[in-house]
Amino acid sequence: MADRPPMDTDKEVSLTFAKGLDVIEAFAGTERRLSVSELAARTGLNRAVTRRLVRTLEMKGYARADRGQYELTPHVLRLIRGFIEGRSLPQIVHPILRRLAEEIGESTSFAMLDDTEAVYVAHAFLPSRFTLNRVTVGSRVPLLPTAAGRVILAFLPVGERAALTARLAAAAPAPQTPDEAHRMATILADCQRLGYCLSDSDYVEGVASLAVPVFDGLQHVTGAISIIFPTHGLDAAEIAGRIAPRMQAGAAELSGALP
């Protein structure tokens, strides 16, 4: 994945439209309603510009106002309709995830690489099985601390992985120490060797996750199938002998079905 050129140097790019997208993305998170001041702080735009942009979203039906706060409306789902339906993701992914969930007895998810994060695009939840309320379609997770993110990173071409990890390091709140960099390199190498990745309490305390890579029609890693479970909920022998092989078989089936 190549670095993106600065938008302000491309005369064919609409900076106003880009700022509007920034406002939409600012609503990501647990706080559903945000004021103009909060949106301005999240986007780095001044209040006047932010107000005009969010009012435009309101006029177009993408946002609604209530006592000085704004929230997105279901109208925004139109923005992802082309992506989901154009790739026939529900018809392709859901049957595979559902069958896999029933085979291994755990809820399953499919996340795809999106810039410097992984975004969940499908789930198959089993009643009474462990899950997190925060994990829904559209939820985004960082790459480095999650099993899905790590397994995607591990199977990227070397040059793309180096460029992406450099971007992640540049955006991190604190520089990565040599020990941390060595640990992550070891983890990614293990993911490649095993064909799956396990993360234990690295993202959410007390929660472990297991992920396997999914490839597109060009054999380029495009996402990951993952499960989550309480720490110590599955032992290493069960993961290696039963869970991971079945997840890898499901991922191979999904890889063969993706365009």
Q: Which one-letter DSSP state was computed for residue 145?
A: T
Quote the strand ranges of the chain, DSSP E: 34-35, 63-66, 69-72, 108-114, 117-124, 140-142, 197-200, 207-215, 221-230
Which pLDDT score is estimated for 2?
42
Provide the residue ranges of all domains of the chain, joining segments of one domain with +: 7-74, 87-257
For the chain, percent of residues with pLDDT exceeding 70:
89
Using one digit for the tens of pLDDT, what is the confidence trace for 64-73? 998 889 998 8
More confident site: 74 or 225: 225
236: closest CA among 190, 171, 204?
A: 190
CATH number of 87-257: 3.30.450.40
For 136-145, write each residue's pLDDT tens digit. 788 889 999 9
**CB 217 within 8 Å of CB 259:** yes
Closest CA to 209 of 87, 85, 111: 111
Q: Which residues contact 221 (CB under 8 A, 6 or more apart)?
A: 113, 152, 155, 156, 213, 214, 215
Fold classification of 7-74 is Arc Repressor Mutant, subunit A (1.10.10)
- Separation of CA 188 from chain center: 18
Q: Could you tell me which residues come within 8 angstroms of residue 99 by beta carbon, excluding any fewer than 6 positions away?
A: 250
Q: What is the mean pLDDT of residues 166-179?
A: 86
Mean pLDDT over the full length of the chain: 88
What are the pLDDT digits (tens) for 84-115?
Answer: 666 667 788 999 999 999 999 999 999 999 88
